[in-house]
Amino acid sequence: MARIGLLTISDGRDFVHRDIADWARSSEDAITAALEGAGHEVVRAPELVWTNELASSQARLVAEARPDLTIFNYSVWAFPHFSMLAADATPGPLVLLSNIDPVQPGMVGMLAAGGALDQIGRVHGRVWGDVADPETLGRLLVHVRAAQAVGGLRGSTFGRFGGRPMGMYTAVANTDQWLSTFGVDVEEIDQWEIVRRSELVSPARAKEGREWLEKHANVHYDGKQLTPELLERQIRSYHAVRELIDEWNLDFSGIKGQPELTTHFTTMDITEAFLNDPYDWEGPKPTHVTATESDMDAALTMQILKLISGDPVLFADVRHYHADRDIWDLANSGQHATWYAARSDDPAENLRRVHLYPEVFFFPAGGASVHHIAAPGEMTLARLTRHSGHYRMQVVRGAFEDYGDEVNEQLARQSTFEWPHAFTRMDVPAAEFLSRFGANHIHAVPGDYLAELEQVCRLLAVDYQRLGG
Ligand SMILES: C[C@H](O)[C@@H](O)[C@@H](O)C(=O)CO
């Protein structure tokens, strides 16, 4: 649920305002009803804005409620300087909303106010039409979700477990830039804390986790790389990280893993999969975005996708391009959230399709990798990357595809079979993607959130770069 401020701007001539006030108020009633119907809280200015003094005072009153987004409503012709004063008293994201009505020139009011705001460089969104129409409401809700995501980042903390993995420049960001651009602080935590604390997890808790995984997933012990003891070590690591998340009030995280933990302790695949999942062996829980290889811009992208969609977010390597099918194998080095196996609310339904395989030669410490083939469906794929120090959100539309067990296996065996795979058709020519995409990792959520990402970028002053399309 978002908190949405609402001000209706009117005509500055007293005799005109008197005649149109009821009409303007009724349009505000309709907007309130539509937004409340969509599950949001609306904070209305007590009075319609028809003087300069009311513009500032009413906007200040609404701003005191710290709304996620403020809407200026134009259902009648509105003097533009009222919008300028009200915008000046509105610190958060702003949307101008107008009717399309031949009698009352609200649309002209919106264009005049919008142009004035453009002149002073004040970022705002614009929506037009009747909010009772689901299509118009849908366009308004895009701005609500984008504002919630941007507001949700501000004041949050990223937990960075370990440092730069295997020389990856793209996994490391500048903390000054993170705070100034996104409002996110970074807490540095040594991976030693995972090792130390994992030993303190009670044997009963680790055993219960293992038995739950053995019951619901398909565990392939081999007596060497994957034993019950190693699986319990992975479960203990999960609980150790959960404890650190609570202790440091972390909102999202990344774990380096390679090479120290994957060579000498165990992989973080179970930890990362179940932090990203909406459940674990102890029941339902909120997702906690966690990036493999402590990839900071990955985690930040994932957190934005989570705040927009509410769903678990996929982290993957751009591992292979099957040119004959024009599809990509997005296979992370050991885990995808298990939710992606069937995208079911029932963990058992997802885990039925999950295989815990002994880790491959890259990871001599052993443990289970979390293998499954992602369920098909439309996806939004994205990644924050940097060019010459400036952030850009690279976005591509796509779909996960499923070819049946036999072909899936044949495709997965061409790369690292034991890792999870999402066979992805991307709405961009391969040559364009490979020439322009600025990282080895990509992230995804089900559905189409391109419009939300574009608004998020405008609010953050980050470049929006759609690949393909
Ligand atoms: C093979 C390496 O160990 C993997 O970690 C590598 O494929 C990556 O995941 C790079 O992001």
Q: Is 307 helix (H, G, I), strand (E, B) or coil?
A: helix
Q: Are 77 and 106 in contact (CB under 8 A)?
A: yes
- Give the residue from 345, 262, 80 showing the smallest Cα distance to 96: 80
Q: Is 362 helix (H, G, I), strand (E, B) or coil?
A: coil
Residue 324 amino acid letter: D
360 C-beta closer than 6 A to ligand 1: no
CATH number 3.40.50.1070 is the correct assignment for the domain at 3-153: yes
Distance 393 CA to ligand 1 centre (A): 23
**Rounded Cα–Cα distance for residues 408 and 388 (Å):** 39
The answer, yes or no, to whether any atom of ligand 1 lies below 6 A from the CB of 293, is yes
* Residue boundaries of the structural domains of the chain: 3-153, 157-466
**Is CATH 3.40.50.300 the classification given to domain 157-466?**
no
What does the pLDDT profile of the chain (469 residues) look like in tens digits?
A: 999 999 999 999 999 999 999 999 999 999 999 999 999 999 999 999 999 999 999 999 999 999 999 999 999 999 999 999 999 999 999 999 999 999 999 999 999 999 999 999 999 999 999 999 999 999 999 999 999 999 999 999 999 999 999 999 999 999 999 999 999 999 999 999 999 999 999 999 999 999 999 999 999 999 999 999 999 999 999 999 999 999 999 999 999 999 999 999 999 999 999 999 999 999 999 999 999 999 999 999 999 999 999 999 999 999 999 999 999 999 999 999 999 999 999 999 999 999 999 999 999 999 999 999 999 999 999 999 999 999 999 999 999 999 999 999 999 999 999 999 999 999 999 999 999 999 999 999 999 999 999 999 999 999 999 999 7
CA of 288 to the centre of ligand 1 (A): 22
Residue 417 backbone dihedrals phi, psi, to 5 degrees: -60, -40
* Most informative mutation of 260, 262, 269, 362 for ligand 1 (most atoms within 8 A of CB): 362
Residue 335 buriedness (CB in 10 A; 0-12 / 13-18 / 19+): buried
362 lines ligand 1 (CB under 6 A): yes
- Ligand 1 atom at minimal distance to the Cα of residue 332: 9
Q: Name the residue of 256, 258, 295 whose CB sits within 8 Å of the most ligand 1 atoms, as the mutation to test its pocket.
A: 258
Token pair of 321 as six digits:
């391009």
Question: Identity (one letter) of the amino acid at 145?
Answer: R
DSSP state of 50: -
**What would the two tokens of residue 261 be?**
């933990």
Identify the CA nearest to 336 among candidates 302, 380, 378, 385.
Answer: 302
Q: Does ligand 1 lie within 6 Å of residue 32's CB atom?
A: no
For ligand 1, is residue 294 a contact (CB within 6 Å)? no
Query: Do residues 311 and 320 make contact, with C-beta atoms less than 8 angstroms apart?
Result: no
Q: Report the separation in Å between the CA atom of 166 and the middle of ligand 1, taken as the mean of its atom positions.
A: 9
Contact 325, 432 (CB under 8 A): no
Q: How far is the CA of 71 from the centre of ligand 1 (A)?
A: 45
Report the candidate in 105, 7, 93 with the shortest Cα–Cα distance to residue 51. 7
Tell me if 3-153 shares its fold with 157-466: no
Closest ligand 1 atom, CA of 363? 3
Tokens for 426, please give them: 């991307």
Residue 333 CB less than 6 A away from ligand 1: yes
262 lines ligand 1 (CB under 6 A): no
The helix/strand/coil state of 145 is helix
Terminal-to-terminal C-alpha distance of the chain: 32
ipTM surpasses cut 0.85: yes
Helices (H) and strands (E) in the chain, counts: 16, 21
Beta strand pairing call for 390-400 and 377-387: antiparallel
For residue 427, how far is its CA from the centre of ligand 1 (angstroms)? 25
Q: Give residues with Cβ within 8 angstroms of 417, minimum separation 6.
A: 357, 371, 409
The strand pairing partners of 314, in sequence order, are 444
- Ligand 1 pocket, residue 258 CB under 6 Å: yes
- The pTM of the full predicted model, rounded to 2 decimals, is 0.97
3-state secondary structure of 14: helix
Q: Does ligand 1 come within 6 angstroms of the Cβ of 359?
A: no
Query: Where in 105-245 does DSSP place strands (E)?
Result: 125-128, 156-161, 184-189, 218-219
* Protein residue closest via CA to atom 8 of ligand 1: 333
